[in-house]
Amino acid sequence: MSDMTSNADAPRSPGRPRSVRADEAIVEAALDLLAEGSTIEALSIEAIAARAGVGKATIYRRWAGKEALLLDALRRLKGVMAQPEGHSVRDDLILLVGAIGRNVDPRASKIMPCLVPEVNRSPDHFRLYQNIIAPRRQLMREVLRRGIDEGLIRADIDLEVTMALLTGPMLIQRVLRWNPELDEQTLPEQVVDTVLAGIQAR
């Protein structure tokens, strides 16, 4: 958010208040257009305004430009994280791996690939991306540590490398359709089992 209406204890400014519906509609319109295949920079303020049923001025009243609006919209997209049950390390890992690129919001999986170039270009987007995935990495890290504590996993493994091993295959398949012959349904289980076999305590 880049404006003032957010202060809850504001001394109630006079005049007509900003429409919360408009806020929602604008963000939703932007995400919808992206999910429908529009590129980030093919996306225009005009198109967003038209889709949201809103005047352009209403958008410029809230955000400085396309960049600020998108950063804001993407923040709301991330959705909720999968929560591992804590019973079996293997099951928890399969759950986490299967959740990669599977956000609650179905638009997310279509939008993500569009952001790859941005992540490399803009430090802001890079930070945003890291902020989104950092808690998920932390979740996986904790499950792996639990596996070590339980004696299932060797204690001398490199946690970060292991997480990359679990995440990488799923990510390239979901984002890039890297290998058309791979089955996304069974991939999480296959990945987890193979990696576990490589890092299990003997």
Q: Which residues bind a second copy (CB under 8 A)?
A: 37, 39-42, 110, 113-114, 116-117, 119-121, 126, 129-130, 133, 137, 157-158, 160-165, 167-173, 175-182, 187, 190-191, 194-199
Task: Give the tokens for residue 148.
Answer: 């070590």
Cα–Cα distance, 38 to 197 (Å, whole number): 42
φ, ψ of residue 18 in degrees (nearest 5): -70, 145
Question: Which of 39, 61, 75, 194: binder of DNA (CB under 7 A)?
Answer: 61
Specify the residue, 51 or 102, whose C-beta has the smaller distance to DNA: 51
Beta strands, E only, the chain: none
Question: Which of a second copy, DNA, none is residue 45 near (CB under 5 to 8 Å by kind)?
Answer: DNA
Question: Which of a second copy, DNA, none is residue 198 near (CB under 5 to 8 Å by kind)?
Answer: a second copy
If one asks whether residue 44 binds DNA (CB under 7 A), the answer comes out as: yes
The secondary structure element, H or E, covering residue 173 is helix 159-176
Beta bridge partners of 57: none
Residues in the chain: 202
Those residues with Cβ within 8 angstroms of residue 157's Cβ, 6 or more apart along the chain or in another chain: 144, 148, 199
If one asks whether residue 54 binds DNA (CB under 7 A), the answer comes out as: yes
Give the residue carrying structure tokens 């998920």. 136
DSSP class of residue 159 equals H
Question: Which of DNA, a second copy, none is residue 58 near (CB under 5 to 8 Å by kind)?
Answer: DNA
Applying CB under 7 A, the span of 37-45, 97-105, 127-135, 186-194 interacting with DNA comes to 37-45
If one asks whether residue 36 binds DNA (CB under 7 A), the answer comes out as: no
Binding stretches for DNA (CB under 7 A): 12-19, 22, 25, 42-47, 53-58, 60-62, 65-66
